[in-house]
Amino acid sequence: MTVSIDVLIVNDDPHIRDTILREFRRAGFEPDWRQVNAEQAYIEQLDHAGSAIDLILIVGPRVSSEVTTVLHSLRDRGLEIPVIVVTEAIDPDSAVDYMRDGAADYVTLDQMNRLGPIAVRETSRRRPQPSLARERAALGVLAHIVEQSPVAIAITDLQATIEYVNPKFTQLTGYTYTEAIGMSADRLAVGRPDTVLSLYFAPLYVVLTEC
C-alpha cells in the first residue's frame, strides 16, 4: 500500500527531481510534488500550502544560502516542516551547521538510497500512527486507574528512588507527593513508627537494589 506525501522541491533540475521521486516511490510513497527555483515562488508555495507540505528538499551543489532562507521562512511562519538537504558533496562542518540550523537531515547525490528511509522517519514523526494513538489512549486509561486505585502505588527507578506515588500512597503513608518524590525506598520508614511502613518498605528496598 502506498502512502501519499506532499513534497516541495527547491531546484530546477528535472533529472534530480526524477531521482528523488523514484526513491520516494521505492519507499512506498506516492508523491504529490511541486518544484520551484526562485525564492519568491518558494515563499508563495509556503503561504499557499503551509503545513500541508510533508517534506521540503533543497537541492544543489552549494545550498548553504538556500538552506538558511528556507529555514528562516519556516520559522517566520511558525511551520514545522522537515527540510532535507540534497547536495553533490558535503563536509562535516557544513552538515553540522545544517542540522544545528534546523534541517532534518542531508543526502549526497551518491547516497540517494538514504532518501526513502529518511522520508519514512520524518513523516512518521509528523503523522501519528493508529497503533501509537491506541497506545497513548491505553496509557491514559492506565494512568487514570492508578490515580483512582484504592491501593497505594509507588514507582521507583532501579536504584529504588521513588519517581511517582498515587493519592492513596500519600493518604496511607502520611508523606506528601513532593516529600516522597526523589526519596529512597529505604528511607520511607525512617522517623515513622508505623509498623506497616517498616515491614513493607525495608524488604522492598532490598529487592529493588538487588535486581
pLDDT (tens digit, 9 = 90+) per residue, 91-150? 777 777 778 888 888 888 888 888 999 998 888 877 655 555 566 567 677 777 888 888
Note the pLDDT of residue 21: 93
Neighbours of 22 (CB within 10 A): 14
What number of CA atoms fall less than 13 Å from residue 73's CA on the CB side? 21
Please tell me the pTM assigned to this model. 0.58
Q: How far apart are CA 210 and CA 186, in angstroms?
A: 13
Query: Which domain range does residue 170 map to?
Result: 132-209
78 and 44 part of one domain: yes
Q: How far apart are CA 146 and CA 200, in angstroms?
A: 20
* Number of domains within the chain: 2
119 and 58 part of one domain: yes
Closest CA to 209 of 160, 152, 174: 160
122 and 141 part of one domain: no
